[in-house]
Amino acid sequence: MTSPPGAGRFAPSPSADLHIGNLRTAVLAWLFARSTGRRFLMRVEDLDDRTHPEVAERQLADLAALGLTWDGPATRQSDHPQRYDDVVDALADRGLLYECFCTRRDIAQAPRAPHAPEGAYPGTCRNLTDAQRAQRRDETGRPPALRLRTDTAQFTVHDLLHGDYTGVVDDFVVRRGDGVPAYNLAVVVDDAASGVDQVVRGDDLLSSSPRQSYLAHLLGHRQPVYAHVPLVLNADGARLAKRDGAVTLAEIGVPEALGRIAGSLGYRAHTVAGMLAEFDPARLPRTPWVYLPE
């Protein structure tokens, strides 16, 4: 009996309309999946309270307008909260979680061990006693976040564009104080549940992949194939944003957007089907694309 095919995916957060950089990453995710015979899945990451259903619908319409196809209906994280709760409960049963009462300011101001990575959690709440936790709960007046009690400081993943990448693994949050599953947990749980074994996304997320891959390892899941693609920047070298002018599909138009994306990747074809015929991961640009509205 053969195992079912793996899958790639695109997982937008519906907080704003997709810009040309998001659309380019979506095209690349589709090209990677289809060129390797994988299914391609669409997942709306709508756990955050800043997301909006109407934005999600526009995002899906834009992706379809470019010619992208996906297998089965788009899924939404908000449709299966029990999935995350079950994993959190299982980690707690293994003694791998602890309550954290720190704010971002607390973490930024906390003393660090020599050579500790910038931004890594310093372990302030890791070894609190029951009495100390009760005291912190009374002092803060807010529910704690839950952090993963890790047993390593770093983890290595392999990326098709970046090679082996070793990054920080600290005691990262798996559930926020408001009860919402943290991104690093939700993305791992969702990918495993849907059979995703190929993750293509912007290279600003490369540094988060060791944490996610480490968690997948703890949960008994295989590490996916990663490909972190270069971002699209504005004329000032900053990440592309709405303030940079005509950047959404509604503003650019489908033919122009496809042409600009194809040109940025060195393709002659101006359709996703045509790009697929030319697709070669080894020839992909390794540097950011600077987008200038015309």
Task: Report the binding-site residues.
Answer: 9-13, 45, 100, 102, 121, 125, 183, 201, 242
Binding region for ATP = 242
Which residue type does 186 have?
A
Q: Report whether 156 contacts 210 (CB < 8 A).
A: yes
Query: How far, in Å, CA of 213 to CA of 247, rounded?
Result: 33
Q: What are the start-end ranges of the H helices in the chain? A: 20-35, 53-65, 81-93, 104-109, 130-140, 183-194, 209-218, 249-252, 254-265, 272-278
Query: How far, in Å, CA of 144 to CA of 47, rounded?
Result: 18
Binding region for Zn(2+) = 100, 102, 121, 125
SS3 29: helix
Q: What are the Cα distances from residue 138, in Å, to 127, 132, 135, 172, 178?
A: 18, 10, 5, 23, 16
Binding region for L-glutamate = 9-13, 45, 183, 201
Tokens of 288: 């950011």
Say which residues have a Cβ less than 8 Å from residue 153's Cβ, sequence separation at least 6.
Answer: 168, 169, 170
Say which residues have a Cβ less than 8 Å from residue 59's Cβ, sequence separation at least 6.
Answer: 12, 14, 17, 18, 44
Tokens of 258: 């496809």
